[in-house]
């Protein structure tokens, strides 16, 4: 099964992200394959194809990691593209949080201990808004409206299975890991 660890969003944050998708399409004329609401997430660790027998070890490991963190705040801060502005394939919204980076490192390390290979690229937390050959984007658009003034409290993360249905990837939660109770930190 094809799986990844991610943070999902509240209905309010999904609406915020959709508003940005519409703005980018209608005000700026950006074209691309726009993510459906249920597929808007922030990946913490992509595991790829994993045998079902390994999933129980992954569940146990993620539960242990979640018990080490309190809920925390993330800040939506910028737009960007991968790999470059000259050949954009992914349009994303970035987020900022030092606790998020610590959580991602802890997940990466714990999963490595049970045989999941580490990611060698540096982690850049983002939500993919559109993919598939982005057309109409430029540096001016990326620099404009840089203050999104949105925060979200992260209280859980999830293990997601990606299933291809009718040519599209549909995401299903197969595990939810609440962060230990406590005051939110930034």
- CATH number of residue 140's parent domain: 3.90.1140.10
Q: Which domain holds residue 73?
A: 2-178
Residue 107, in any domain of the structure: yes
**Three-class SS string for the chain?**
CEEEEEECCCHHHHHHHHHHHHHHHHCCCCEEEECCHHHCCEEEEEEEECCHHHHHHHHHHHHHHHCCCCCEEEEEEEEEEEECCCCEEEEEEEEECHHHHHHHHHHHHHHHCCCCCCCCCCCCCEEEEEEEEEECCCHHHHHCCCCCCEEEEECEEEEEEEEEECCEEEEEEEEEEECCCCCCEC
* Confidence category of residue 185, pLDDT binned at 50, 70, 90: low
From the candidates 59, 126, 169, 172, which is the catalytic residue?
A: 126
Active site residue 41: yes
* Confidence category of residue 143, pLDDT binned at 50, 70, 90: confident
From the candidates 41, 59, 169, 172, which is the catalytic residue?
A: 41
Q: What is the pLDDT of residue 166?
A: 86
Residue 183, in any domain of the structure: no
Active site residue 126: yes
Residue 6, in any domain of the structure: yes
Residue 186, in any domain of the structure: no
Residue 101, in any domain of the structure: yes
* Confidence category of residue 5, pLDDT binned at 50, 70, 90: very high
Q: 22-52, pLDDT tens digit by residue?
A: 999 999 999 999 999 999 999 999 999 999 9
**Mean pLDDT score of the chain:** 93
Residue 147: is its pLDDT beyond 80? no
The count of domains in the chain is 1
């Amino acid at each position: 099964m094809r799986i990844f660890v991610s943070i999902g969003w509240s209905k309010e944050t999904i609406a915020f992200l959709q508003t940005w998708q519409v703005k980018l399409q209608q005000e700026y004329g950006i074209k691309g394959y726009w993510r459906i609401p249920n597929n808007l997430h922030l990946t913490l660790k992509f595991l790829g194809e994993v045998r079902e027998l390994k999933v129980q070890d992954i569940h146990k490991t993620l539960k242990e990691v979640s018990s080490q963190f309190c809920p925390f705040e993330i800040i939506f801060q910028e737009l960007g593209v991968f790999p470059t502005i000259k050949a954009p394939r992914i349009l994303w919204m970035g987020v900022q949080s030092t606790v998020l980076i610590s959580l991602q490192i802890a997940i990466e390390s714990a999963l490595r201990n049970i045989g999941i290979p580490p990611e060698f690229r540096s982690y850049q937390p983002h939500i993919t808004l559109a993919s598939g050959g982005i057309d109409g984007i430029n540096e001016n658009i990326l620099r404009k409206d840089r203050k999104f003034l949105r925060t979200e409290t992260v209280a859980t993360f999830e293990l997601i299975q990606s299933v291809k249905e009718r040519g599209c990837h549909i995401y299903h939660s197969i595990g939810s890991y609440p962060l230990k109770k406590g005051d939110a930190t930034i």
